[in-house]
């Protein structure tokens, strides 16, 4: 009887392995989709500043809503998407020179996408684009 249960468990595992492999492949494809989507969105955002100001503002609002919804619906996909955005922005800004003309909205979002330690060197090239805030002390 001991061996019968063992073989039953072994048979069930053998039949589930292809299913697990398909789920892993599907999940990997979805992760790659969000990586590619982030790169495509970042590339579009690089040239967005040349459009109408209202259209640009609408795009950034829609983008923020999309990212919030993605974070609520699937946090793993959100993290992959945001990592892709960060890498695309970092790569572009390392190669960006004065010929690039980005809007203030682009610079604001670039600051959000890049973490402070990673963005410190990049933004030293554009000190006029940075806004530093200091905490005000409460008066007693």
CA angle 82, 102, 32 (to 5 degrees): 25
Inter-residue contact 25 to 69 (CB < 8 Å): no
pTM of the model: 0.64
Report the mean per-residue pLDDT for the chain: 75
Angle at the Cα of 119 from the Cα atoms of 117 and 120, rounded to 5 degrees: 70
Q: Residue 20: which pLDDT band, with cuts at 50, 70 and 90? A: very low
Q: Please state, in angstroms and as integers, the Cα–Cα distance from residue 128 to each residue in 13, 53, 66, 104, 114, following that order.
A: 61, 21, 30, 11, 17
Among the listed ranges 36-50, 72-86, 121-135, which one has the minimum average pLDDT value?
Answer: 121-135
Pick the residue with more confidence: 132 or 101? 101
Residue 100 clears pLDDT 50, i.e. is over it: yes
Residue 131 has pLDDT above 60, yes or no: no
């Amino acid at each position: 009887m001991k061996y019968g249960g063992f073989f039953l468990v072994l048979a069930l595992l053998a039949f589930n392995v292809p299913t697990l492999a398909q789920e892993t492949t599907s999940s990997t494809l979805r992760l790659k989709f969000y990586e590619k989507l982030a790169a495509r969105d970042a590339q579009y955002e690089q040239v967005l500043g040349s459009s109408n100001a209202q259209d640009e503002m609408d795009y950034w609002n829609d983008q923020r809503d999309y990212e919030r919804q993605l974070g609520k619906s699937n946090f793993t996909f959100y993290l992959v998407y945001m990592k892709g955005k960060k890498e695309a922005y970092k790569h572009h800004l390392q190669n960006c020179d004065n010929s690039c003309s980005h809007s203030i909205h682009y610079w604001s979002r670039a600051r959000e996408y890049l973490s402070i330690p990673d963005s410190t060197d990049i933004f030293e090239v554009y000190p006029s684009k940075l806004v530093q805030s200091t905490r005000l002390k409460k008066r007693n």
